[in-house]
């Protein structure tokens, strides 16, 4: 193995020696990993089609409707709400209250008739003139209704029927809604600003002749067998990471909230080990290859490309909306986990996984490794538009990896914009910051609405 002198630290480092697996054992192993990948993918997609256990708390759709109703009430524009489309029982319960509070008693009654029996009795007692529910019955509904705007208005309506002062409870409902409305307003202004930045940046970059020209991306030296073993091996580890975590947590007395960070850390560890082996390099050398040039400049570009990603995903969503059937939000289990967590340390650990570890590894995998490997491979073989094809293919792989059919168009679009950003800047810090802001923003939005 040849040695080279490190230019910055004066250290002797081994030159990367790409892995060249023996075809006699590599080809059968690749075939096995491919078969496992296909089988686990079909099983995961089939499991998504099965009826899921009903959620015992309202979802994001109800929270948005609560804030919509609160905003109308606070601004004095209290008008009837549109007919609800929620499928989950406690979402329908929340909407039955909101419909009654905005004057749609008949629609609220029809909606309440499809909710759990304890809520039906309470709703008819508060809004239908039947026997009033007891304080114990109302308190039992606090958690299922989410203890938000609708629940406090429900309590206020009960107090009014009992000839008590409902204003303190209405004030409590407003105090729940106002900070969330302020956050959403601030978030909306931020998104508007990013959208304007994205539109301007898109125009400026597309008018350049070298819009899809790599910014001196260093090649990622891997043989196709090594690449296949690394990517397929990582994907199989990803599909079995939940099983590994479940087995570990079945024997060790660990908090269940650690299961997701452990599962993610497991397949990240496997993936990094395989990628470094395939490239025949060290962690330091691989990161140095992916992050040349000044880091502040690369991070600065993240804002422009984040705006481009936002505009692109919104446009794709609007264009495809008539063709996509209404479905349950993707990754409902993760949304429920984020929304229902209460322990601050657990919340911090989950945020670090979603907005830190996940973006860092996924950018390393898809933009730092797969994109330059494909780009140089296509270009060396004379493929016209090789780098554009590499951006598209790596973006499609990024979207498909999540196994969320309903979110596939948006995820693929995001992946392609991330690929374009890495192509333009040549520094992985740009896409890591973009991805972290995207994931972190979604996490914070769910927590605020929870």
pLDDT at 4: 45
Residue of 278, 242, 300, 274 whose CA lies nearest to 427: 300
Residues paired with 189 in a beta bridge: none
Q: Do 3 and 14 meet the contact criterion of CB atoms below 8 Å apart?
A: yes
Task: Round to whole Å and give the CA distance between 446 and 448.
Answer: 5
pLDDT at 147: 85
Residue of 364, 350, 367 whose CA lies nearest to 264: 350
Alpha carbon dihedral 420, 227, 220, 207, in 10-degree steps, equals -20
Q: What does the pLDDT average to over 247-251?
A: 86
Sign of CA dihedral 199, 447, 104, 79: negative
Compute the radius of gyration of the chain from its Cα atoms.
26
pLDDT digits (tens, 9 = 90+) for 80-131: 555 555 567 888 888 889 888 888 888 888 888 888 888 999 999 988 888 8
pLDDT at 324: 64
| Angle (deg, nearest 10), helices 428-449 and 167-206 | 160
Segment holding 4, helix H or strand E: strand 3-5
pLDDT greater at residue 195 or residue 39 = 39
pLDDT digits (tens, 9 = 90+) for 350-400: 899 999 999 999 999 999 999 999 999 988 887 778 899 999 999 999 999
Task: Round to whole Å and give the CA distance between 45 and 47.
Answer: 5
pLDDT at 104: 82
pTM to 2 decimals?
A: 0.87
- Per DSSP, the chain holds a count of helices (H) and strands (E) of 20, 2
Q: Answer yes or no: is pLDDT of 198 > 70.
A: yes
CB atoms within 10 A of CB 36: 16
Residue 357 CA, distance from chain mean position: 13
Segment holding 3, helix H or strand E: strand 3-5
Task: Round to whole Å and give the CA distance between 87 and 109.
Answer: 16
Q: Do 150 and 98 meet the contact criterion of CB atoms below 8 Å apart?
A: yes
User: Quick one: 421 exposed, middle or buried, by C-beta within 10 A (0-12, 13-18, 19+)?
Assistant: buried
Q: What is the mean pLDDT of the chain?
A: 85
Task: Round to whole Å and give the CA distance between 92 and 79.
Answer: 19
Task: Round to whole Å and give the CA distance between 103 and 120.
Answer: 18
B/e letters for 45-62, b = 16+ CB within 10 Å, e = fewer, are eeebeeeeeebebbbbbb
Q: Do 177 and 74 meet the contact criterion of CB atoms below 8 Å apart?
A: yes
Residue of 103, 102, 99 whose CA lies nearest to 111: 99
- The three-state DSSP-derived secondary structure of 343-358 is CHHHHHHHHHHHHHHH
pLDDT digits (tens, 9 = 90+) for 160-196: 888 889 899 999 999 999 999 999 889 889 888 988 8
Q: What does the pLDDT average to over 41-63?
A: 78
pLDDT greater at residue 209 or residue 267 = 267
User: Quick one: 209 exposed, middle or buried, by C-beta within 10 A (0-12, 13-18, 19+)?
Assistant: exposed
Q: Answer yes or no: is pLDDT of 418 > 70.
A: yes
Task: Round to whole Å and give the CA distance between 184 and 63.
Answer: 12
């Amino acid at each position: 193995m040849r040695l080279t002198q490190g230019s910055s630290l004066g250290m002797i480092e081994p030159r990367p020696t790409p892995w060249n697996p023996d075809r006699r054992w590599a080809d059968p192993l690749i075939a096995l990993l491919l078969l496992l990948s296909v089988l686990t993918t079909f099983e995961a997609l089939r499991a998504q089609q099965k009826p899921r256990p009903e959620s015992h708390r309202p979802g994001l759709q109800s929270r948005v409707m609560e804030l919509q109703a609160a905003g109308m009430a606070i601004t004095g524009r209290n008008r009837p709400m549109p007919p609800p489309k929620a499928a989950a029982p406690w979402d329908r319960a929340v909407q039955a209250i909101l419909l009654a509070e905005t004057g749609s008693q008949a629609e609220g009654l029809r909606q309440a008739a499809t909710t759990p029996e304890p809520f039906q009795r309470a709703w008819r007692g508060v809004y239908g003139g039947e026997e009033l529910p007891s304080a114990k019955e109302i308190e039992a509904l606090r958690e299922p209704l989410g203890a938000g705007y609708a629940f406090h208005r429900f309590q206020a309506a009960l107090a009014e029927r009992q000839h008590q002062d409902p204003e303190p409870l209405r004030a409590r409902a407003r105090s729940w809604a106002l900070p969330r409305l302020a956050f959403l307003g601030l978030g909306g202004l931020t998104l508007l600003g990013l959208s304007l930045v994205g539109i301007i940046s898109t125009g400026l970059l597309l008018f350049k002749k070298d819009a899809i020209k790599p910014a001196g991306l260093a090649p990622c030296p891997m043989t196709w067998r090594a690449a296949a073993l690394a990517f397929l091996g990582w994907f199989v580890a990803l599909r079995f990471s939940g099983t590994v975590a479940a087995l570990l947590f079945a024997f060790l007395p660990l908090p269940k909230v650690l299961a997701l960070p452990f599962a993610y850390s497991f397949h990240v560890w496997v993936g990094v080990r395989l990628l470094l082996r395939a490239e025949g390099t060290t962690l330091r050398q691989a990161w140095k290859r992916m992050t040349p040039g000044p880091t502040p400049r690369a991070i600065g570009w993240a804002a422009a490309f984040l705006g481009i990603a936002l505009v692109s995903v919104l446009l794709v969503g609007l264009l495809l909306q008539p063709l996509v059937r209404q479905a349950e939000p993707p990754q409902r289990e993760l949304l429920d986990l984020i929304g229902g967590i209460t322990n601050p340390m657990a919340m911090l650990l989950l945020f670090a996984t979603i907005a830190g570890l996940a973006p860092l590894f996924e950018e390393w995998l898809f933009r730092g490794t797969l994109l330059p490997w494909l780009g140089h491979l296509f270009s060396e073989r004379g493929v016209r538009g090789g780098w554009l094809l590499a951006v598209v293919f790596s973006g499609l792989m990024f979207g498909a990896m999540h196994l969320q059919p309903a979110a596939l168009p948006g995820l693929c679009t995001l992946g392609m914009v991330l690929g374009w950003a890495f192509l333009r800047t040549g520094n992985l810090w740009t896409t890591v910051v973009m991805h972290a802001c995207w994931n972190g923003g979604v996490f914070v939005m769910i927590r605020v609405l929870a």
